[in-house]
Structure 1
């Protein structure tokens, strides 16, 4: 397997998982990292972070209202989250980073909130990219730490 092929595949899966949240990028990354050489670990984490954030741009614009969100439940949750952020404007960046890194609150929901709150897109992308990279780096390095004990 070449690094370029692994990188492009990871970027594509990450992009799809950003738009369709039921596609588990973390499970894909665990498998890819377990099969790939150790040197691929951080490039895979970077590819996943970039792919996720490229896909999240579409979700961000859905939050701005450029795209109509399906379901009353999702619209209500978005409204409540947006009201919460509006009452705590300085906490937005730290909540966004924690969401990108920990996955709580769900990053897809926070992306919608960022769009609805009209958070600066570049700021959102930088915070999200850093948080996602750290998250994915932990995920891809975990199999590398276990591999020596298995073989």
Structure 2
């Protein structure tokens, strides 16, 4: 049987991997871990949030390097017009990310509530002047709150 600190490390590692390669949602894992480790919901939420924030920061830094590539610039210029149904919302979010005053709140809401999804916001944030450290700290706060809330769900039913 694994000890709780090992389980927290696995949770953090899994959050990191899933943030980079989103092959499956981590939420069911967080709920399962919280249900099996009674009283450890907050550390599990923080571990998942830390892993996710670190993974999304790696994506941000990688995307910043890719955005500078000439072939990416050509591709983006061809496909820069989003569909009309969601285009207005996407343009508002990207315009907000261009303003330093709005960039951190948009990342926080995306990390905490998922609207717009953090997986999309990270690529828009890569085009801004937002530092990777600020992005990491804001994403850490939002993802930790999100995963802690999810980890607390089993305690509502298991008492």
Task: Give TM-score scaled by structure 1 length.
Answer: 0.82
Q: Deviations over 1:57-102 (max 9, x none)?
A: 2210133134777xx69x746x95545532x442111111100100
Q: For 1:3-42, list aligned pairs within 5 A.
A: 3-38=4-39, 40-42=40-42
Instruction: Mark the structure with the bigger radius of gyration.
Output: 2
Q: How many residues align?
A: 142
- Counterpart in the other structure of 1:92: 103
Task: Answer whether contact 1:97 1:128 (CA < 8 A) is retained.
Answer: yes
Task: Supply the RMSD in Å over aligned alpha carbons.
Answer: 2.4
Determine the structure 2 residue equivalent to 1:46.
Answer: 46
Unaligned runs of 5+ in 1: none
Post-superposition CA distance 1:32-63 (Å, at most 9, x none): 1112222x211111111111111112210133
Q: Secondary structure at the match of 2:65?
A: coil
* Equivalence for 1:116: 127
CA contact 1:64–1:118 (8 Å) conserved in 2:
no
* Alpha-carbon distance in structure 2 between the residues aligned to 1:32 and 1:15: 16
